[in-house]
Amino acid sequence: MKLQDLTIKQFLEKTAANEAVPGGGSSAALSAAIATALTEMVANLTIGKKKYVAVEERMKQIATEMSANRTYLVDDIDRDADAYRLLMDAYRLPKETEAEIALRDEKIEEATKIASLVPMEVAERAYNLLEPMMETLETGNRNAVTDGLVGLMTCRTAIMGALLNVRTNLGGIRDKAFVAEMTEKCDRMEKETLEKENRSIQWVKTML
């Protein structure tokens, strides 16, 4: 059974068990999916309200965008776990001869890159949703503003968690150009994510 098909209780129990999967990467993807659901809820609570007729079409667009991205993010729960298993399989390859050692090193490098790229894709997808989340907060149904902020804060957790998983894997990669590119992305997204979140938190506080 896929991780995404588990009940909430089953997923939590499996996460808490003495196993490496699901771990922080799958949880980051799940957090991002939850964030899209909360934002879509705020958009849907705005649609059809006379007070918000001016933003109704935009809210419909955002609701559709969140729903589409949630589909990918739910799949990422399992993609992250699969990437980890691939890496573990590479480490289990034989290393008795020089040829085996060379092949094992090559497979480990490939698998470690994949284990970095999957959470980076999660982080980038979630990061690209921050602006529409902020827009929904500021122009959507004011009665659901705190729900929307919880969604945005959950999205921040997803981004920061996914990027942490990227950084963890970069330490084992020999390709310096790859490491430099990924590190630059991590630094930029972390900084901008925290700035956006803080801006939204402060704005919501003025609305309460």
What's the rounded Cα separation, in Å, for the pair 173 and 188? 20
Query: What would the pLDDT profile of 148-194 be if each residue is shown by its tens digit?
Result: 999 999 999 999 999 999 999 999 999 999 999 999 999 999 999 99
Phi, psi (degrees; rounded to nearest 5) at 176: -65, -35
pTM for this predicted structure: 0.95
Average pLDDT score over residue span 113-120: 98
Q: Tell me which residue of 87, 201, 195 sits closest to 150, measured CA to CA.
A: 201
In this prediction, residue 180 carries a pLDDT of 98
Q: Reply yes or no on whether the pLDDT at 1 is more than 90.
A: no
**Residue 1 per-residue DSSP state:** -
Domains of the chain by range and CATH? 23-207 (1.20.120.680)
- pLDDT, residue 87, reads 96
Tens digit of each residue's pLDDT (9 = 90 or more) over 57-109: 999 999 999 999 999 999 999 999 999 999 999 999 999 999 999 999 999 99
Mean residue pLDDT of the chain comes to 97
Assess contact for 125 and 32: CB atoms under 8 A: yes
- Cα separation, 106 vs 126, whole angstroms: 31
Once rounded to an integer, what is the mean pLDDT over residues 191-206?
Answer: 97
Instruction: Look up residue 19 and give its two tokens.
Output: 């196993």
Stronger pLDDT, 208 or 193, i.e. the higher one:
193
